[in-house]
């Protein structure tokens, strides 16, 4: 059974899902907004907040490529939203003071090395870097567990990344993801979790969701997802390309509660629980006389039927085989029939 440790938090099938509040760049480069989201996440009952670490000069060359969910080039956006190392250190301390894990996604070697200096508990690798095998190898070499999103990748392109992580001996999780902002429900494809599980049985499974609700994350739990990630914002009125696919603290509180409840409800067998006995006693039906029965009289539908409660020796399921038998003593009306009341023939 695949399992990994994020700090002291075990993550795997036997444990409730780890819900990650992806703050990302929703702070728009404003440390005050970032700190507010840390507090709001903690107040919502979250265990983990995640940021993005951008060292722009090591991450990309100057360009004018505009993402589909933005109205400015990615280069300008990252220069505006990148947080300095000192702020990230303060955010990590803040998250830990509030009892949460601090994670971040490095988009370059320099960013990964900065997070290593912060001694993060694990690394998150985004979908865009899933097939950036040199960067995956660099991060894996840092010796911490890796949570890898797999949007825009198929089994063939995920496989080399998984092999790198295995070779490095680090625990890893694979998050199914659709890199559409927002993702229409019919393109979430939760069936991919089974495909990932079959291809990578040593991986913890999860979902990085970009729909506009928490429902796909909840639906992923019975399918084996034990890491659930969504974008987080304190205020949907804030600017930012990821705000439309972000959930509020109240929604995240529901996600935490719901995912834990669903996890608790999983498993088991279709057996009668001992705890159901009080309900059995009043809800089941017993075989009873519906008219006086004289000693030696044959039991027929005219004098025998089934009624609640279920405290009699002979339950409703016995009724057909009792018909035609004879009473060995006089029986009053509404008598719960017992084996001692009927002849053996």
Quick: pLDDT tens for 142-183. Answer: 999 999 999 999 999 999 999 999 999 999 999 999 999 999
Give the distance, in angstroms, between the CA of residue 191 and the centroid of all CA atoms in the same chain.
15
Say whether pLDDT at 138 is over 80.
Answer: yes
Band (68; pLDDT cuts 50, 70, 90): confident
The pLDDT of residue 187 is 98
The pLDDT of residue 181 is 96
| Tokens representing residue 305 in the block | 């039927």
* Per-chain mean pLDDT for the chain: 97
Quick: pLDDT tens for 20-51. Answer: 999 999 999 999 999 999 999 999 999 999 99
The pLDDT of residue 1 is 85
The pLDDT of residue 344 is 85
Quick: pLDDT tens for 215-228. Answer: 999 999 999 999 99
Residue pair 52/104 in contact (Cβ under 8 Å)? The answer is yes
Quick: pLDDT tens for 233-256. Answer: 999 999 999 999 999 999 999 999
Say whether pLDDT at 345 is over 90.
Answer: no
Band (261; pLDDT cuts 50, 70, 90): very high
| Arithmetic mean of pLDDT, 120-139 | 98
């Amino acid at each position: 059974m695949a399992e990994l440790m994020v700090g002291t938090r075990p993550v795997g099938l036997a444990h409730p899902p780890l819900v990650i509040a992806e703050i990302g760049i929703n702070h728009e480069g404003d440390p005050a907004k970032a700190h507010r989201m840390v507090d709001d996440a903690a107040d919502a009952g979250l265990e983990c907040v995640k940021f993005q670490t951008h060292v722009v000069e090591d991450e990309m060359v100057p360009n004018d490529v505009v993402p589909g969910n933005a109205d400015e080039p990615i280069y300008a956006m990252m220069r505006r939203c990148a947080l300095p190392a000192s702020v990230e250190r303060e955010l990590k301390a803040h998250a830990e003071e509030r009892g949460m894990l601090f994670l971040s996604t490095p988009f370059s070697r320099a960013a990964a090395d900065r997070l290593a200096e912060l001694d993060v508990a694990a690394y998150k690798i985004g979908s865009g870097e899933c097939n950036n095998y040199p960067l995956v190898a660099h991060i894996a070499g840092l010796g911490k567990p890796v949570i890898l999103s797999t949007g825009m990748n198929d089994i063939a392109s995920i496989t080399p990344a998984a092999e790198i992580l295995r070779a490095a001996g680090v625990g890893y999780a694979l998050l199914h993801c659709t890199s559409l902002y927002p993702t229409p429900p019919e393109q979430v494809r939760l069936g991919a979790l089974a495909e990932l599980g079959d291809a990578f049985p040593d991986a913890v499974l999860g979902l990085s969701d970009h729909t506009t609700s928490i429902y796909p994350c909840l639906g992923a739990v019975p399918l084996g997802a034990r890491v659930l990630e969504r974008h987080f914002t304190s205020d949907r009125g804030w600017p930012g390309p990821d705000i439309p696919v972000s959930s509020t603290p109240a929604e995240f509180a529901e996600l935490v509660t719901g995912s834990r409840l669903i996890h608790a409800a999983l498993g088991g067998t279709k057996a009668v629980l001992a705890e159901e006995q009080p309900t059995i006693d009043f809800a089941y039906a017993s075989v009873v006389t519906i008219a006086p029965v004289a000693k030696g009289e044959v039991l027929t539908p005219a004098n025998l039927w089934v009624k609640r409660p279920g405290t009699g020796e002979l339950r409703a399921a016995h009724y057909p085989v009792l018909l035609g038998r004879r009473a060995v003593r006089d029986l009053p009306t509404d008598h719960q029939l017992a084996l001692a009341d009927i002849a053996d023939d």
